[in-house]
Structure 1
């Protein structure tokens, strides 16, 4: 899954601004599968690599809020949706147009504007739920949306609330201090809550002719997009993440959800160079490291990952990494 590489170059700049030296940035890029030279030249970039870069940057800087900070400094977008927003009449129209054409620039997330009697919600849902495991990247995306809204309206407004559906422990206050308004973790949805008056904010660069021209162009781009078919691994990860923390689905459960027999499911995974057990183990390891940096206790992590008890999780973690989870947690730079 590819996205505009302008965001990659913004992240490099943000890392350096926050204190990463050039050598550290280069090591982060290489670890995530790209060289500095390629980062400066490519037009499209791998979506998952972007998420991993933000995670690595948080660890290198010892700052769990780096993704949010990078999002807040992401203002100018040269994408077709960015220009459509720029020439929209007001913030409400800009949000509606962004939701309409968002797949052109970000095929993993689907945004929607929802209205109630007393507020409005810019809600984002994952088309590919496998990416929801990258919590720092999710924070970058949502704070980036807020920054773009402020930029096009030229108003430093405050939303009523930002809500994230992932949980966090020790660092929630750091995000509120950075934002200057309520930031909620462990919510039911990923969303920005806005007042109705905020939706009415005019956009100074409004141009009806240009907006109509660009929306026509956007419609053509949408029509030319290939039909999205998520990779099997992404589908499996999405189902597993949605089932947690209540249970960890079995291979038979996942195969049934995907409309396959158990043997067909196992064969297709083998053809893709993996297995159900490998996907489960790698997902649990990935999530466990994230949850440790968010201040969750080992007993909470064990429950969140569907283990019967803490001892079972500790045994598995040592098998994966060669060290006990307590030792890993004590060395975590983003804790």
Structure 2
């Protein structure tokens, strides 16, 4: 199996904890941040709590609603990040011999970190490039996450007394977001290029080869092993059904086919069907489960029944009504009135 997509791996609550602390500092309450996400305040202090990407996106949507849908709000949140708050993967970077080694060791385990961007490193004759792919993210939270994670990178490096000074930055953000980012990176506005296809910063070739002050080879090796074991445990615990369920909930209003999910998990549909059967379920059963949950959530938000049917992929409203009666024993319109 190839690299797991960002929605397929359960993660700790470190990222949500950072966001909630930042939002509280800007006047929101923890309850407002977590509303509708299925995450409790107790989860934020429980090192064993695990959440899915779609739950974190619900928190982000709450922050956008509470703090304003404006360029820079993700940056304000991201600057609360530190390498220590990134959990074991942050300490793995700190224990590495160089920043380059730390990044290379951490890349396979990014699902254990608070970021949802796909980071990669490349080098040519002129520069070292750090790229951050945001193409897997839902469009309504994408700019916030790009701002948060690129600003968080600055905050985390600065807090660890590491120098990360790019020569120029390309970003998928618009001009206003790029201008805010330029301030964070202390770059001239002309050196932050908005509206690009990817997020990428260019730095001197020797940047990533700077020695890290807390380097210890044995500790780095131990932490890398802990990252692998933690990732394997999380994937084994949720199984394939958990990963498929997460994908179905990942993007609001977009329910993929089994072929799409199988492709994203790097397996063929027959293998996916067999693995789900071994866990006592099927793609159709999981799709039904997710549609039922989403339908109830949308009805409670007073979304029109016709719109709910469309979002859940039903060709006709009557088909959705029939399915809802099968789930709840009553028509969606009556369910809304009685709820």
Q: Which category of TM-score, normalised to the shorter sequence, fits these structures?
A: 0.5 to 0.7
- Once the two structures are TM-superposed, the CA of residue 108 in structure 1 deviates from its matched residue by 5.5
Question: What is the aligned partner in structure 1 of residue 16 from structure 2?
Answer: 8
| 1:56-75 deviation per Cα after TM superposition (whole angstroms, max 9, x unaligned) | 32332235312222222201
Change (3 A) 1:117 1:210: same
Paired residue secondary structure (2:51)? strand
2:33 corresponds in structure 1 to 28
1:139 & 1:39 partners in 2: Cα distance? 22
Q: SS state of the match for residue 11, structure 2?
A: strand
Aligned residue number for residue 335 of structure 2 = none
Q: Which runs of 5+ in 2 are unaligned?
A: 1-8, 274-282, 292-307, 315-339
- Residue 244 of structure 2: which of 218, 225, 231 is its match? 231
Distance change (3 Å), C-alpha of 1:10 and 1:206:
same
Distance 1:255 1:53 in 2: 24
CA-CA distance at 1:236 after TM superposition: 11
Q: Give 1:81 deviation, angstroms.
A: 1.5
Report the alpha carbon displacement of residue 272 of structure 1 after superposing the two structures with TM: 4.9
TM-score by length of 1: 0.62
Matched with 2:99 is 91
> Unmatched 5+ residue regions in structure 1?
242-249, 282-335
Matched, 1:210 2:219: yes
Q: Are 1:271 and 2:288 an aligned pair? A: yes
Taking the TM superposition and a 5 Å limit, the aligned residue runs for 1:275-290 are 277-278=310-311
CA RMSD in angstroms comes to 4.2
Matches within 5 A, 1:1-335: 1-17=9-25, 19-22=26-29, 25-41=30-46, 43-62=49-68, 63-75=70-82, 76-77=84-85, 79-105=87-113, 109-125=117-133, 129-131=136-138, 133-135=140-142, 136-152=144-160, 154-165=161-172, 167-168=173-174, 170-181=176-187, 182-224=191-233, 226=235, 230-231=243-244, 234=247, 271-274=288-291, 277-278=310-311
CA distance 1:280–1:108, shift in 2 (3 Å)? farther
**Residues 168 and 110 of structure 1: is their aligned pair in 2 closer, same or farther, counting only changes over 3 Å?**
closer
Normalising by structure 2, we get a TM-score of 0.62
Q: Distance in 2 between matches of 1:107 and 1:215?
A: 18
1:100–1:36 distance in 2 versus 1, CA, 3 Å: closer
